[in-house]
């Protein structure tokens, strides 16, 4: 064990705010991959880092009541996407849950991505990145991107009146320029639901 590498890595992680995620590659300048891996293992043993998934670590935030708090699985997914310089869009039940269309909290998250397809285990949960065409991940609206995926999950002609009304109410909070951009990416039947919001804004 090269204690110098351990010290260099510890110095770097302590400069970042607690809750920051680190990947093994973040420390490649400190030594070869095997030396870095062993140093990170040592820091986990010392309690300086927590391993949240293979090759992914965090210096957790400390809550005064519950103690160490590790990042959410969603935060981990976004960090992986940033590292890989990939775009991701949440799908399925997760998208519906975020919009309030489902009370079910998914154990496992599935994202469409223009990066590499992979499955990452985070504790008892998994993050799955499914490779797709760029068109499916270039939505820019914080709300409209979820709406498209949620409606795809519900299915054509299967959304209830209440669901459509809730979706359209949420879309009224979307930036008009983002909504206009994302409508062009949606299937025709979803486009019609989204277009009603733009038409109402013009009225």
Q: Give residue 135's pLDDT band: very low, low, confident or very high (50, 70, 90).
A: confident
Domain covering 3-69 in this structure, CATH number? 1.10.10
Name every residue whose Cβ is closer than 8 Å to that of residue 129 and which is 6 or more positions away in sequence.
Answer: 77, 80, 86, 88, 111, 112, 113, 115, 116, 117, 118, 119, 120
State the pTM of this model: 0.86
Task: Give the domain ranges of the chain.
Answer: 3-69, 86-138, 140-203
On the question of pLDDT at 201 being above 90, the answer is: no
b/e per residue 1-17 (b: at least 16 CB within 10 A): eeeebbebbbeebeeee
On the question of pLDDT at 1 being above 60, the answer is: no
Q: Give residue 92's pLDDT band: very low, low, confident or very high (50, 70, 90).
A: confident
């Amino acid at each position: 064990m090269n204690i110098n590498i351990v010290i260099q890595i510890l110095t770097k992680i302590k400069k970042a705010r607690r809750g920051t995620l680190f990947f093994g590659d973040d420390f490649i300048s400190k030594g070869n991959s095997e030396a870095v891996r062993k140093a990170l293992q040592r820091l986990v043993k010392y309690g300086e880092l927590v391993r949240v998934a293979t090759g992914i670590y965090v210096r957790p935030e400390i809550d005064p009541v519950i103690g160490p708090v590790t990042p959410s699985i969603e935060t981990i997914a976004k960090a992986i996407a940033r590292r890989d310089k990939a775009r991701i869009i949440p799908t399925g039940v997760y998208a519906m849950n975020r919009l309030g269309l489902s009370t079910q909290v998914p154990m496992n998250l599935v994202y469409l991505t223009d990066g590499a397809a992979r499955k990452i285990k985070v504790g008892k949960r998994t993050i799955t990145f499914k490779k797709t065409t760029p068109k499916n991940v270039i939505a820019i609206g914080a709300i409209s991107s979820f709406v498209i995926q949620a409606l795809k999950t519900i299915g054509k002609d299967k959304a209830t009146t209440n669901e459509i009304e809730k979706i359209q109410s949420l879309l009224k909070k979307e930036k008009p320029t983002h909504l206009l951009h994302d409508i062009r990416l949606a299937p025709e039947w979803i486009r019609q639901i989204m277009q009603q919001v733009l038409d109402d804004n013009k009225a």
